[in-house]
Structure 1
Amino acid sequence: IFFLQIGPVCGAEGFYVSEITAFASPDSGCATLVDFIDNAKTSLYVNVYTFENALIAERIARAGARGADVIVMIDKSPVAGIPEEGKAVVSYLLSNGVQVYYSDDKRVRYNHAKYAIADNVSILITTENFGYSGFSPESSFGARGWGAVMHDAPLTRYFVNIFFNDLKYVEKASPLPAAAAHKNLKGKYSPAFAAENFKGNFFVVPVVAPENAVEKIVALLNSANKSLYIEQFYIYEHWGSIKKDTPETAPNLFLEAAINAARRGAEVKIILDSTWYNIEAEEPASNYNAMKYVQGVARKENLNLQVKLADSKKLGLEKIHTKGVVVDKKTVLISSINWNEHSPTKNREVGVIIHGEPAMYFAEVFECDWSGTCGSRKYVYIIAVGILILAIYARRKYSNV
């Protein structure tokens, strides 16, 4: 496996963070992101693979109108190209004075990161792009995603350095002709996870691809003793050549580390997305074949190792798009990294490993998706959202006095 070293990102091992807000999409993702943007005072820096959400674009433009230094960086050539909604967002931001750049970084294949930085002291890292699926204004519609807001100047400066180093490899965006697009955001998901604020002393380790992602994620998986929960958009059965290699000749280092955790006695559960293009049996690099491989190993070795394709219809979710791991219910990985070989070794990707209480929040999200029901969490969500609305109303009322 060939690893690239492309930037000054290998300074600190980790940071102690005193305040973290955990959130899940579609439940509380959009509200958390909007609140994060609305509270940016002096600067707002965004790096995201794709950006089609007009509501988020409007709030970013407002930040610029308030006098904040606003820079948005998006990938120049995403796999499916820039859709009409994305072209409209670029044109809207430019017309409102926002600096927009296309990442044209030849050091990496895709700029697939998903994060935002406010005032150089707070950072939001998520598994989701800035589209209607990842950050739906309607919490009954969207994909499952994870995210966290961390309030810590040293940690944030670490990612500011990455942002501006990557900004050296961009081209200035120009307005793009775009057709009007209408999004139907009606869904059947019952939101259960309001954003939750945690205060304490949480150790946070940056994960950055292609520099250190394989090393950090394998080490995290190797640390599992009791339980390992993995929820992924997709996992390749093996790395290397899709058609020529096998798990023996080119193992998926992440997947094999998860299997090894089960061999050590940990309970391992894996949820994979079940969208049609991810479960084609004739496609070697599909979730269906990854599932069959894992199930075969579990049967052969009698391991406490389970894998399932998410029942998105039962859950009411559009799809599973998160890229998350929870270890022993004490540590969580939130990142943009997919579990093929390309993502952690050839893309610009960003994530964090958070140690401590916030991990339990994501363990509960996982357990909801695993069981297909969130039970009493829905009542907690309703109460928490009510409190949040009152708090926002009070803050805005008194800030206008």
Structure 2
Amino acid sequence: MVPRISVDSRFRQALVIGCWLAIVGVAIMSGTAVAHSTGNHQSTHTATEAADGRIVELYPNPTTPQNHGEFVTVDIDKAGNWTLSDGEGTARLPDGIGEFAITRHPDKTATHTNATVVETSANLQLAVGGERLELRRDGQLVDRVSYEDAPESQRWHRDHESHWLPNGFQPREPATINSTPVEAFVLPDSPDAPLAAIEGADQRLYLAAYTLTSQRVVDELIAAHERGTTVRVLVEGGPVGGMSTQQADRLNRLTEAGVDVQVMTGEQARFRYHHPKYAVVDDRAVVLTENWKPSGTGGRENRGWGVTVDSPKTADELAAVFTHDATWNDTVSWSKFRSTAETTEVEAATGSYSQNQPPMTATADAVTVLTAPDNADEELIQLINSTDDRLLIVQPSIGDREFRLLRAALRAADRGVDVRILLGSRWYNEEENKALASTLRERTGQSETLTVRLAAGNGRFGKIHAKGIVADDTAVVGSINWNENSVDNNREVALAIEDAEVADYYAAVFDGDWSGGGADDLPVGILVVAIGVAGGVVLVLNRRLTFAEKR
């Protein structure tokens, strides 16, 4: 994860932003030294077997003068004569058990950790350019951690893997809920489905958005607030291309009505983009591939997937994600944020499409909440690795041939799984999708188990914007694009729905788009969809980043 970039530096940063995108995870094996990298930041750790204590967190590079507030957290399971050393200073730990944050500046540290803060007078200082720390009991080495080039305002955190994580970010495990009623739908076929999903809230209505311009959605949020419902909105502060004046008007209206609207922004933001599209409505939740705007949930252009889940546990899990994301110091109220905005031009969508695939309801065997950067990539790779018969993938584009989810899909094709990949064919992704298809052709030759197609809507939709998977009897619906930035740097949310009926529903949509679009299997031929342009205005914010997705 990387700092957000100001608009003044966007052109220079565009030349180097690509080298920030990769975060490579390496599994940790008990009792051996293991490397983990975040960009160019390396760390290793060694733990003895059956250790009674370990180093669990480092914060070497806070954004304070002289790095005041840096700390090391240790987890002690057995009381004893414990010490922590960096080779220059040695700190003695309390004679007790629990998690202790060892620091020279307890007043600065306490706001960054829930561990018991322990002040030390030892010359224990964490060098930004690299350090090695050793945890000992009665003089015997129990754990060792070393790192190189600590990223600013990030914490090294150790659980089942070691990570450099933004300060304020707490990873979540995937949450699975069994026997769950769901409604599956697609866009632009069913634009009333997302609205119906958020209607009638009595207790809570939380809406997470990359962009929000739908007047119908804003009306429902205000109506819920006026009924006494707790309504909260969280949006991305600097979407690609800027925030439209239409969105500013919508957020102004929400704020004036008394709705709590927060914006994720700033150089120390935990995510490159706040990119999810979901809502929590009392005891149900809706998760989408589409933005809350006319081209998405309004059914004016995009092919998208969505699902509503009638499940208190699923709703509570997403509410916890929302609260985590909306209540740290990288979010500010819209009323404070809007004064930083300027205006410029943007396109608008005005298409109209028929309903080819109505919604369907089922009781899913299981629904799993996936989030990025927490857990989604690992879970999706496991899902793909376990696929036996069919693997259908729809994406606007795929980052590159070496993207790890794509590599997993290629392995599935190698073992005989029918793998089909449906990509977009608009002006901004046609060439890269052609190039990817050509690369896959060279890799697979005349393989009959892997085919790639660029979709043309042919009256069914305007462009591919869905990010979906059908893997045997499991369907995945959410905001996760197949590129390193999405899974490693963005906040993303998806649901994995394990149910044959639901999987067949999305497979039928996929098949219709595959065969009804009119494009040949690549690389034999491509049919490109024409695009239309309309007018509008945009807010240019204080930063710009690499392209995550178009409208």
TM over 0.5: yes
Q: CA deviation at 1:11?
A: 4.4
Structure 2 alignment gaps of length 5 or more: 1-23, 25-37, 39-162, 519-551
Which one of the candidate residues 499, 504, 510 is aligned to 1:360?
Answer: 504
Q: CA deviation at 1:4?
A: 5.5
State the alpha-carbon separation in 1 of the partners of residues 235 and 179 from structure 2.
Answer: 28
CA gap 1:154/1:194 in 2 versus in 1, 3 angstroms? same
Q: CA deviation at 1:107?
A: 1.7
Number of residue pairs aligned between Structure 1 and Structure 2? 347
Q: How does 1:380-391 map to 2 (within 5 A)?
A: none
Partner residue, 2:49: none
Which one of the candidate residues 81, 90, 102 is aligned to 2:242?
Answer: 81
Q: How does 1:121-270 map to 2 (within 5 A)?
A: 121-136=283-298, 139=299, 141-169=300-328, 170-174=331-335, 185-187=350-352, 189-199=353-363, 201-238=364-401, 251-270=402-421
Larger fraction in helix: 1
Instruction: Report the more deviating stretch, 173-182 or 251-260.
Output: 173-182
Partner residue, 1:308: 453
Partner residue, 1:332: 475
Tell me if the contact between 1:17 and 1:150 (Cα under 8 Å) persists in the aligned partners: no
Residues 1:109 and 2:272 aligned together = yes
Q: CA deviation at 1:8?
A: 4.4
Tell me if the contact between 1:4 and 1:210 (Cα under 8 Å) persists in the aligned partners: no
CA gap 1:167/1:369 in 2 versus in 1, 3 angstroms? same
Partner residue, 2:440: 294
Structure 1 alignment gaps of length 5 or more: 239-250, 281-285, 375-401
CA root-mean-square deviation: 2.2
State the alpha-carbon separation in 2 of the partners of residues 315 and 298 from structure 1.
Answer: 32
Q: CA deviation at 1:56?
A: 1.3
Tell me if the contact between 1:237 and 1:289 (Cα under 8 Å) persists in the aligned partners: no
Q: CA deviation at 1:161?
A: 1.0
Equivalent residue of 2:202, what SS?
A: coil
Tell me if the contact between 2:456 and 2:517 (Cα under 8 Å) persists in the aligned partners: no
CA gap 1:182/1:373 in 2 versus in 1, 3 angstroms? closer
Partner residue, 1:94: 255
Q: CA deviation at 1:5?
A: 4.9
State the alpha-carbon separation in 1 of the partners of residues 505 and 165 from structure 2.
Answer: 33
Bigger-Rg structure (1/2): 2
State the alpha-carbon separation in 2 of the partners of residues 122 and 259 from structure 1.
Answer: 36
Q: CA deviation at 1:17?
A: 3.8
Q: CA deviation at 1:190?
A: 2.8
CA gap 1:180/1:93 in 2 versus in 1, 3 angstroms? farther
Q: Tell me the alpha carbon deviations over residues 245-299 of structure 1, each in whole angstroms, 9 at most, x when there is no partner.
A: xxxxxx210111111111010111110010111013xxxxx22211211222221
CA gap 1:13/1:97 in 2 versus in 1, 3 angstroms? closer
Tell me if the contact between 2:174 and 2:371 (Cα under 8 Å) persists in the aligned partners: no
Q: CA deviation at 1:180?
A: 12
State the alpha-carbon separation in 2 of the partners of residues 12 and 306 from structure 1.
Answer: 31
Q: CA deviation at 1:361?
A: 1.0
Q: Percent identity?
A: 31
Residues 1:45 and 2:201 aligned together = no
For CA contacts below 8 A with separation 6 or more, give which structure has more relative contact order.
Answer: 1
State the alpha-carbon separation in 2 of the partners of residues 45 and 142 from structure 1.
Answer: 25
**TM-score for both structures, normalised by structure 1:** 0.81
CA gap 1:11/1:258 in 2 versus in 1, 3 angstroms? closer
Q: CA deviation at 1:155?
A: 1.9
Q: Give 1:161's aligned amino acid.
A: A
Q: Give 1:261's aligned amino acid.
A: A
Larger fraction in strand: 2
Tell me if the contact between 1:209 and 1:350 (Cα under 8 Å) persists in the aligned partners: yes
State the alpha-carbon separation in 2 of the partners of residues 287 and 157 from structure 1.
Answer: 38
Q: Give 2:350's aligned amino acid.
A: L
State the alpha-carbon separation in 2 of the partners of residues 180 and 69 from structure 1.
Answer: 34
State the alpha-carbon separation in 2 of the partners of residues 195 and 111 from structure 1.
Answer: 28
Equivalent residue of 2:512, what SS?
A: helix
Equivalent residue of 1:171, what SS?
A: strand
